[in-house]
Structure 1
Amino acid sequence: MYTNDGFRELDRQECVRLLAEVPVGRIVYTRQALPAVLPVNFCLDHDDAVVLRTSAVSDLVSAIDGAVVAFEADEVHTDTRSGWSVVVTGTAALVTDSAEHERLLRTGPASWAPSPHEVFVRIEPELVTGRQLAAGNSLYGVRLPF
């Protein structure tokens, strides 16, 4: 069912399924009291948590460890004006348990920009929302831009 803005709301299960299909998303956080957005590669862990791998000395780690953040991933098809977007909101935390770190070295996301001292950051999914716009969906007979 489409809402009056032409988008269909996605349930949590569908959001998680879609997140698992894409390798890159964007983390939204606060940097120096201002909003910041950074593209990152990621994976979903067994409990649907979003896991990032980054340099231990990055500004990102110091800004998000223990903070509430948003994570967004999407897939857009400009030729058909269709696509979806999923947002995960939750607390980000540095993975400090050595056994968990070792497990994520095997199963977690591969680093696209390797550094000598990498860490994993886990975002616990407290709120998961998503929307989808199907190809050719219209509102009042007008194709919606997406």
Structure 2
Amino acid sequence: MYANDGFRELDRWECRALLVTVSVGRIVYTRQALPAVLPVNFCLDRDGTVVVRTSVSSELASAIDGAVVAFEADEVAAAAHSGWSVVALGPATLVTDPVEHARLLRTGPRSWAPAPWEVFVRIAQELVTGRRLVGGRTLDGVHPSS
């Protein structure tokens, strides 16, 4: 990355602080040997893992359990030409412990599309990267500091 490209790399702690400010992200996983991207609502658990709630019979739950996935969340201010993006890579696992499942029912994300039987998927953040766009361009294409 070039020093003047308008982006600033974020460290792991900045990424985590930004992730707690939004509730929708995307999971990138493999479906029938092809990349698939699915928007999901989520929360960060107390250990920093991403937690998603979905139907036990969903394609997502069966496709990502035990797989390494990418999780991405961002926030964009189009009018200001600014924003940030965080990507976390790591294994996804279904929460099977009954005590942990009960805790997540109270503290975890609320499902936007409730199902009769829901599970929680935990995504470990083994590799986290992020960047923030600073000093974007105006509508006429001129950099604000010019």
Cα deviations by residue, 1:48-79 (Å, 9 ceiling, x for unpaired): 10000000000001110000000000000110
Partner of 1:114: 114
Partner of 1:127: 127
Structure 1 runs (4+) deviating above 6 angstroms are: none
The 8 Å contact of residues 51 and 123 in structure 1, kept in 2 or not, is answered as yes
1:102 matched to 2:74: no
Q: Give the letter aligned to residue 36 of structure 2.
A: A
1:9 matched to 2:9: yes
1:75 matched to 2:72: no
Give the alignment of 1:10-49 within 5 angstroms: 10-49=10-49
Partner of 2:57: 57
CA distance in 1, matches of 2:136, 2:64: 39
Cα deviations by residue, 1:28-47 (Å, 9 ceiling, x for unpaired): 00000000000000000011
Instruction: Indicate the percent of aligned positions where both proteins have the same amino acid.
Output: 72
Taking only aligned residues, the RMSD between alpha carbons, in angstroms, comes to 1.8
Bigger shift: residues 122-131 or 3-12: 3-12
What is the count of residue pairs matched by the alignment? 141
User: What residue ranges of structure 1 are gaps of 5+ in the alignment?
Assistant: none
The 8 Å contact of residues 6 and 137 in structure 1, kept in 2 or not, is answered as no
